[in-house]
Amino acid sequence: ERRDAIRRNHTATHLLHAVLRQVLGTHVKQSGSLVEPNRLRFDFTHHQGLSDDELRRIELLVNQAIWANDEVTTKLMRQEEALQSGAIALFGEKYGDEVRVVRAGFSTELCGGTHVTRTGDIGLFRILSESGIAAGIRRIEALTHARAYASFVGDASVLDDIGASLKARKDQALDAVHTLQRRLKELEQELAAEKARQAISQLDGLLKQVSEFDGVRLLVAEVRDVPDLRDFMDKAKAKLKSGIIVFGQKKGDKVQLIAGVTKDLSGRFHAGRIVRRLAEMCGGKGGGKPEMAMAGGTNPESLSEALASVPDVLKGEIAE
């Protein structure tokens, strides 16, 4: 059985090679292969990845060649005569004056390997994957015979399970998935809108905490669950009109910091320098423009201390 499996997979590589040249073009050349009892691998020259439609067509054409059940014949010929008859020689392979020509349906190659008696002996062919392994070199991995059938059955079983989970028939599973995806997108939009509303509500509360530093309005706060700190800062600056704003929030084991300086104060204070000094206290780094800058850190425990130090940081700004 092991030898029969190798024969099936070897002959399948011949059919695959011929079909690739038919579908993709005669520039396709074999650049390597691996034939094992449980699988086959075929490397070939081609300039881009294969589309799903191309892969489906290639798989179908190989199977049609299998189902045609053509006889697989071998014949010894002079190399020149064999090549003139259309037989494909592998690039870089050295051949003698007399070569062995293997014909399997529409495939004709020079080959000394073992093969099935008829293409139908391969039974079934299934492509598992297609990928690039080097510049201009693609790889197809595939199964034949019982292993190909088992692969199809396995996928059908997964589809049955998906249908059961969605409470839909197998032929309706894809529509059910699309319906779920649309609903998920709607829920994500609703959640984003709700978070935006909560952020605005949070901002309104924070504006009541505005203090003063050296005659400048100052708002420093730790915020929670703000999805877009830049947008949050823009809204805060618009409401504050004139002042300095610093926000920080914990995100798991990370820290996010943002500093904003309204345009009228950007000549005295620099948001990039402010946020960079705060980030250093939180084990991070960052910076940016005079009017708005962001930074990150890796020490959430230091966030409160960093925010409390903002007045001292601003004193340093004035000193500079």
| Residue 126, pLDDT score | 98
Q: Is the CATH code 3.10.310.40 the one for domain 209-319?
A: yes
Q: Residue 247 in 3-state DSSP?
A: strand
| Residue 149, pLDDT score | 97
In the chain, ranges of CATH 3.30.980.10 domains = 2-165
| Residue 86, pLDDT score | 81
Q: Residue 34 in 3-state DSSP?
A: strand
Note the pLDDT tens digit of each residue in 197-217: 888 888 888 988 899 999 999
Phi-psi region of 48 (alpha: psi -120 to 50; beta: other; left: phi over 0): beta
| Residue 18, pLDDT score | 96
Note the pLDDT tens digit of each residue in 236-279: 999 999 999 999 999 999 999 999 999 999 989 999 999 999 99
Note the pLDDT tens digit of each residue in 227-238: 889 999 999 999
CB 258, CB 233: distance < 8 Å: yes
Q: Is the pLDDT of residue 80 over 80?
A: yes
In the chain, ranges of CATH 3.10.310.40 domains = 209-319
Q: For the full predicted model, state whether its pTM sits above 0.85.
A: no
Task: Transcribe 136-175 into DSSP letters.
Answer: TEEEEEEEEHHHHHHHHHHHHHHHHHHHHHTT--GGGHHH
Average the pLDDT over 151-157 and give the result. 94
Q: Which CA distances in Å does 40 have to 6, 86, 144, 186, 269?
A: 9, 25, 8, 44, 67
2-165 adopts what CATH topology?
A: Threonyl-tRNA Synthetase; Chain A, domain 2 (3.30.980)
